[in-house]
Amino acid sequence: MNSNHWFAIPLSLIVALMLTMLPMPDWTIWFRPAWVLLVLTYWSMMMPQYANVGTAWTVGLMLDVLNGTLLGEHALALTIAIYFVVRMHSQLRMYTVLQQALWVFIFVMLYQFVLFCVQGFLGGLPKTWLYWSSSATSMLLWPWVYIIMRAYCRHLKMA
């Protein structure tokens, strides 16, 4: 990565955190995409040497603080999901964007499952099946996130 572009990954993660914190109408709250996981997935797939499990842990702690959740809840979930992305990054890069979207669905489901387990342990399980709908919206948005992130990298001459 060009040293002039050291800000590219943190800037995109800040934008993802901002998108995560945007207010939404009550009826759409369950459909919020996992913005942070989507952006982390892109970077971990394309540049695992710069965005990896440590990055996921750090951003997860920031997400915990912003959401006011148990410290480490999102950090653990993001770390586990990104671990698999980093392990599979060379395979994921060879897949088409639609095949990647199916894997994104699995990664977001894993992320949500870890959060579900932690919330269950704390006695705060969601009471609706809509909890899992974020996986579908994240999968549907993946092609757009991929295209935007790839254009961002090309604009900064990173790829």
Counting Cα atoms < 13 Å in the Cβ hemisphere of 119 gives 14
Separation of first and last alpha carbons in the chain: 8
The string of pLDDT tens digits covering residues 49-66 is 999 999 999 999 999 999
pTM: 0.96
Asked if the structure places residue 21 within a domain, the reply is: no
Classify residue 22: in a domain, yes or no.
no
Alpha carbon 155 to its chain's center: 22
pLDDT at 12: 97
Q: For residue 20, tell me if it sits in a domain.
A: no
Question: For 72-85, what is each residue's pLDDT tens digit?
Answer: 999 999 999 999 99
Summarize pLDDT for 25-52 with one digit per residue, the tens.
988 999 999 999 999 999 999 999 999 9
Q: Could you read off the pLDDT of 108-123 as tens digits, one per residue?
A: 999 999 999 999 999 8
Domains held by the chain: number: 1
Range of the domain at 111: 3-15+27-155
How far is the CA of 91 from the CAs of 44, 48, 67, 101, 135, in angstroms? 12, 13, 33, 13, 21
Give the number of other CB atoms < 10 A from CB of residue 155.
11
